Amino acid sequence: MLSNQVGGDTVEARLTALDAAVDGLLDDDLSGLSRDDIVDVLQRLETSLRKAAAVGHRLVVETTERMIPGHLGCRSVHDLLIGTLRISAADAARRVKGAKKTGTWHGLDGEEVEPKLPATAAAQRAGAIGPEHVAAVAKILRKVPYGVGFDEISVAEKILADAACSVTPEDLVKLGVHLLAYLAPDGDVPDEKERKRRRGLRIGKQGVDLMTPISGLLDPETRALLEPVLAKLARPGMNNPDDPDSPRGDVDSETLDRDALAKAAARDTRTAVQRNHDALNVALRQLLSSGVLGSHRGLPVTAILTMSVKQVEDETGVVTTASGGLVPIRDALRMAETAHPVLAIFDHHGRPLHLGRARRLASADQRLALIAASGGCTRPGCDAPATLTAVHHITEWQAGGPTDITNEDLACDACHALVHDGPGGWETRVAPAGSEHPGRTEWIPPPHIDPERTPRVNHRHHLGDLLSAALAHYRARRDTELREHRRRWLREPAGDTGDGEVP
């Protein structure tokens, strides 16, 4: 029982009701709930737990300001939480850090001090975000370099808090990395001289299993050149050496069997790093077969294998390459019988931007325009770059949607699969003229994610525009508040700025 002091009876009554509610939920028969009800209960319970975490931050503030740990013989608030709640040191540290960032503290005069992360604190009190979101926002803002203005930091915190209400903590961290790049483009990036010094690609010695370790650092330019190669050749289902029916070569070839690709992708159990490895294999094959490298020491630049007739007949042992590498005989025979595809260069001049219903597939020019406009996958929270996306019909082709730039946008394979008419399916539409982001692609979540089905847009690839707009709005609001404060201080009539102008 709480002591009979001011507020004690009220808090005691609320805790008693909370205990009774939780005990009731523990005893309730949940088997009678429908699937939709289960999801609804999960969401409502999570909201309550997040609000409870905000209450915990308030209690940490009270514990600290009233120096309760010292009174009880504890060295710190951390020790008090660990001892009284039997939680881990990491959990105690997270709660104290959360209270420091989102708690309402008091000055020496007793006046309340605004939380260090006001927008984040408000979102947690509303139950929209949890402690992990709070920790992610704090972690991101700690990395803001010295010299970034207070206005920019305040707007960045508001953007992160808003984003946290619709994404996971992991996705929030990814977004924060790019937001930091807009706040301070040269923040932690080493200069060009340092990048040149650190660049390198190390190919180790072959082990007894004939595998070769590789390590190193790619400079920004080399990574930018490698990423589109991997995006094209490492797509699930493509170039899978373990699947004889896997399509080979170019995923955009007109002769590619799309149904076979879809089936191969469903069978593809390779990890992303394994797909990257296989894509590099295909890329090197294409490079060597193209002939663009010319000759080296009088011979064509290609993989030269040396083997004996006996090895071919027995299909055993290893063969050597001209560079001294070792290749198992079975791999060498497969390399020898594989025909290298020839890269064809197509002329892009004169391709129409609008194709109407004449074709289902978007043109290269349309895709280039979408890359420039959207930057990547348009589903809220997704950070897939444009190289990992396909052109998506906002109004589906089957429903009469044209293959026009006004009805197309980018979506990665995983997000594109979420758009369907079945349970749990997302919908897409073009934001109307009077909306906050007219012309952008809006994604409407299914009821189990958002019962209100509020349309959302992805700001992940438009952080620069979002930051500029939010900063302008923030400064305009602040200027209005300053003018209003000045008017009241000077007792000027409403609408007069004191210099004859109307604000």
* Mean per-residue pLDDT, 395-400: 66
Overall pTM surpassing 0.95 (yes/no): no
Q: What is the pLDDT of residue 314?
A: 64
pLDDT of res. 447: 87
pLDDT score for 99: 94
Instruction: Kindly tell me if the per-residue pLDDT of 386 is higher than 70.
Output: yes
- CA distances from residue 456 to 380, 386, 388, 431, 438 in whole angstroms, order as listed: 6, 19, 21, 9, 12
Most confidently predicted of 126-130, 439-443, 473-477, 499-503: 126-130
Task: Write out the E strands in 86-220.
Answer: 105-106, 112-113, 200-203, 214-217
Average pLDDT over residues 435-462: 87
pLDDT at residue 151, rounded to an integer:
85
Predicted local distance difference test score (pLDDT) of residue 1: 60
* Residue 7: band (very low, low, confident or very high) from pLDDT cuts 50, 70, 90: low
pLDDT digits (tens, 9 = 90+) for 164-221: 998 899 988 888 888 887 776 655 555 667 777 888 988 888 787 778 888 888 877 7
H/E element holding 392? strand 389-393
| Strands 326-328 and 105-106, bridge-based pairing | unpaired
Q: What is the pLDDT of residues 317-327, one digit of tens each?
A: 666 655 556 66
Looking at residue 342, its pLDDT comes to 22
Please compute the mean of the pLDDT values over residues 433-452 and round it to a whole number: 87
Using the predicted structure, report yes or no on whether residue 435 has a pLDDT greater than 90: no
Coil, strand or helix at 419: strand
DSSP 39-63: HHHHHHHHHHHHHHHHHHHHHHHHH
Give the span between the Cα atoms of 8 and 60, in whole angstroms: 17
Which helix (H) or strand (E) segment holds residue 118: the answer is: helix 118-125
Mapped onto helix, strand or coil, the DSSP state of residue 112 is strand
What is the rounded average pLDDT of the residues 252-266?
82
The better pLDDT of the pair 64, 358 is held by 64
